[in-house]
Structures are given as structure tokens and as C-alpha cells.
Chains A and B, each alone.
Chain A
Amino acid sequence: MEPFFDISVITDNFTYFMIGRYPHGPLGGVGLTLYLAVVSCILSFFGGLILGLLSVSRFSVVRYPALAFINLVRGMPLLMVIFWMYFLMPALFGKVAENNTVIMALTLFTSAYMSRIVVAGIEGIPKGQTEAAISTGLKQWQVMLYIVLPQGLRNMIPSFVNQFVSLIKDTSLAFIVGVSELTHVATQINNRTMAFPTEIFIFIALVYFILCFAFTSLSRWLEGRLSWSKAN
């Protein structure tokens, strides 16, 4: 009788799971998953910051379009955003690599969620600070840049880390447009070997879990530390 769990399929393909065909071919597996998550996270940090600032602007000309965009994206499934990008980017920019299509989709999607974190962070700073800063003669944008944002951003760090965890999970959807990240690699190996779907999918679930749990724990630790230093 064959063993209940046959982990040889994991050990045989371990490097393929981790880095794909790299260095002899394109990066894949866990390496590509992290690459997609990190690049999209950095881009959507700035995207979220800009959208967040626009959506609390005093000028309705920029506030309403920003809010409309944020709500549009938040009302859509990520899969839909990926399909939109997959379909629109070539029409607008000509040939675009799948990796970049996915990064673009993840960035747009996550920026909308990040913008809410930014708004919450800005609103969490007491009004008195803004008033004090204005009365010392600073302009509105200077107040935001030098007084509110530096403090607000610090409070947002745990939420940003949580958003990064969501991003790691969301990169699995890149599978749908054929980007060879971890989930895609797993389905490839599954299609090739045929007999070990249970082992393969439990294994990649554990890999994602380890990645995400590490960052979730980091976020909790940061939350505790930041609130501690604030109390003192």
C-alpha cells in the first residue's frame, strides 16, 4: 500500500517551489510571490498616501474623483481588477509583461485599501495639533507634511504590515494570468505528477501560513511597542 502522505513530491521539487527555474530561467515560486508582494506593497504605499491625502482634501475637484476611485475599487473583487488590467494594459500601452500587469492590478487594488488606513491615521491625530501648527504660521500643506503625517504614519505601521500580509495572500491570484508564483507552480507540479494534490496543497498552504503568520506577529508586536512608547 502506498503511504498516506508521500512527501517525496515536495522534496523532489523543493527548489522549484522556492525559486522556480531561477537562475537558469525566470524567477518563480516563493521568490516571485515575495517579489510581487514587496514591489506592489511599496508602490501601493505611495498610491495609498496620495489617494488618502486627495480624499481628505479641501478641494472637492480632487476629493470626489479620489473617493469615487477608492469606492469603485473597493467594491470590486481583486480578480475583476486583474482581468481589467490584463485586458486594458495592452490596449493602452502595447505589450506588457504578465508580472507587471499583476503588479499594476495589485497596486491599484491595495492603494484603495491603504488610502483608508492613511485617512484613519490622519484623523487619529488630535485637532489641537493642526490648530497649534496653523497658529504658528505654517501653511496647510506644511502642517500635513511636517506635523500630521510624521506622527500619523507611525501609527499606521501595524496596519500597513497587515495590508502586506493581505498582499502576500492576494499574489496567489496572479496564477490566473499565468504568472508562475507559488500557487501556479503548485498547480503545475500537481498537473505533472497527478497523484499528490493533498500533499502539494497542504505544503503550499503551510508555506503561505509561515510567511503571513511571521508578518502578522510582527504587526502585533509593533502595535504593542508603538502604543507603549506613546503612553510614555
Chain B
Amino acid sequence: MLNYTFNWSIITSGQYFDWLVTGLLTTLKLSAVSIVLAFVLGLLIAVMRMGHNRPFRWFAHVYLEFFRNTPLLVQIFFWYFGSYKILPTFINDWLNETGFEFAAAAIALTIYTSAFIAEDIRSGVLSIPKEQMEAARSAGFSYLRSMQYIILPQAVRITIPPLVNQFLNVAKNSSLAMTIGVMEMTYQARQVESYTFRGFEAFTAATVVYLALSIIITALVNIYNEKVLNAHKAA
């Protein structure tokens, strides 16, 4: 900071500004795709984990432990560098045509996040009184139908705040996609730094964007908690 003159104009307009904006858009796109897919996958895994089918339960258990206990970066590298041997040829071809970096990052983020979401959903379901499941089963619903119509609609409502936090985590974790060349926010900040030697400005811009994202989303969760969850409790 000694004798350093700031030059903010470099990142607030022109080419470098455009880079940062495309970076932000890629971050948002990658996070949105991953969180939606991760929610679906997480729901599936959570239902399998809590069901009575032994092989499914066992599979879900291994899935959760394995993907939660390995670094996301290693998972990204695995999908990017190493997955071609275990994927069928037509999937490999399709991936190569559609920009493999983004797809590999999205797959890794989806699977990594789905394991955390499954646990969130599971604790949401566990907070629903056991009698509800028993009542549903005795009314003639199958396990899956009881989940679908009775338990999950209530559990998901409780799970929404942790899910939104997971979105925040995905947005932050998506920065790791830069290691395989996805041009998201952090990648672009790094890029601006190496083109201009204005690291301080470039990193500040990226930091501010990430902070703004987390402040906005945290505020939304708080509003949801107050308006929906508390109102629901009071009723």
C-alpha cells in the first residue's frame, strides 16, 4: 500500500469491467444450474437414505460419506481429467461438444452439494413428528407417496433457509471452477490482475461482488424466516 495510487476507473468501465461482468454472469449461471440439479439429486438421496430398502439406503450412506469427505477441488479434477474412462462414449462426445469445462464444474458442484443438501433435507424430515408418517402409512399411502404428499412438502418448507445458504456456498465454491478454466468471477479478477497489475482493484471488485451476493441472500433468508416460518408457527 506504500506509494500505491489507486486507479478504480480501470475496473469500472471498459474492457476489464466487461470481463468482470461476464465473470459474474458465469458464476451465477454455474451456481444456478448446480443448485437446481443438486436439489433434485439431494432429495433423491435423502429419500433413499431414509427408506427401508437396504441396498438403496446403503448406497445413499456411502454416497453421502464419500462426497462430503473429499475436497471439491479433487472432485472437479476427477470429472475434468479422469471421468472419460468411466463414462459411456456418447456422454463423452456430448460433453466435448458442449464445452467440457463448464459441464465438469457443474457435475462436480452438483454432486458435492447434493450430499450436503441431502443431509439438510434429512434433518428437515426428522423434525416432522413421526406420527405423521405413521398416520399416512395407516391411511394406506405407500412409503414414497407418504413422503411425496405428507412429509416432504412440510420438510422442504423448513429446509428452505439452509438450502438458500447452500446456494451461497455453491456460489463461493464455484470459484474453484477457475482451476479448470471456467471463466467465472475469480478467474476474471485474476485475469484483470495479470493484464493490468492492478491486483488490489481487481480483487476488491470480486470481493465486493461476492459480499453483495451473500448480503442480499442472507437478507432474503431472514425475511423468509420472519414472514413465512414464524407466521406459520404462530398460526
Interface residues of A (CB under 8 A from B): 4, 72, 74-80, 83-84, 87, 91-92, 165, 168-170, 172-173, 175-176, 183, 186-187, 190, 197-202, 204-205, 208-209, 212-213, 216
Alpha-carbon gap, A213 to B72, bound state (A): 15
Q: How many residue-residue contacts, CB under 8 A, span A and B?
A: 107
Known contacts A202-B78, A205-B70, then 16 further A-B pairs from the complex at CB < 8 Å, ordered by chain A residue: A75-B211, A76-B207, A77-B186, A83-B189, A87-B203, A172-B71, A173-B73, A175-B179, A183-B71, A197-B77, A201-B82, A205-B75, A205-B78, A208-B71, A209-B66, A216-B65
Are A76 and B71 neighbours in the complex by a CB distance under 8 Å?
Answer: no
Ordered nearest first, which 5 A-B pairs have the shortest CB separation? A197-B81, A212-B69, A198-B82, A75-B214, A172-B71
Alpha-carbon gap, A79 to B71, bound state (A): 13
Are B175 and A79 neighbours in the complex by a CB distance under 8 Å?
Answer: yes
Most chain A beta-carbon neighbours within 10 Å: one of B75, B207, B210: B207
Alpha-carbon gap, A106 to B171, bound state (A): 19
Are A175 and B73 neighbours in the complex by a CB distance under 8 Å?
Answer: yes
Given the known interface contacts A79-B186, A173-B176, A201-B81, the answer about A213 and B206 at a Cβ–Cβ threshold of 8 Å is no
Task: Tell me the nearest residue of chain B to A165, going by C-beta.
Answer: B69
Are A77 and B69 neighbours in the complex by a CB distance under 8 Å?
Answer: no
Alpha-carbon gap, A209 to B70, bound state (A): 5
Interface residues of B in 161-193 (CB under 8 A from A): 172-173, 175-176, 178-179, 186, 189-190, 193
Interface residues of B (CB under 8 A from A): 1-2, 65-66, 68-75, 77-78, 81-86, 172-173, 175-176, 178-179, 186, 189-190, 193, 199-200, 203, 206-207, 210-211, 213-215
Given the known interface contacts A172-B73, A209-B69, the answer about A79 and B210 at a Cβ–Cβ threshold of 8 Å is no
Are A76 and B211 neighbours in the complex by a CB distance under 8 Å?
Answer: yes
Give min CB distance, A167 to chain B, whole Å. 11
User: Chain A contacts of B69 at CB under 8 A?
Assistant: 165, 169, 208-209, 212-213, 216
Alpha-carbon gap, A205 to B69, bound state (A): 9
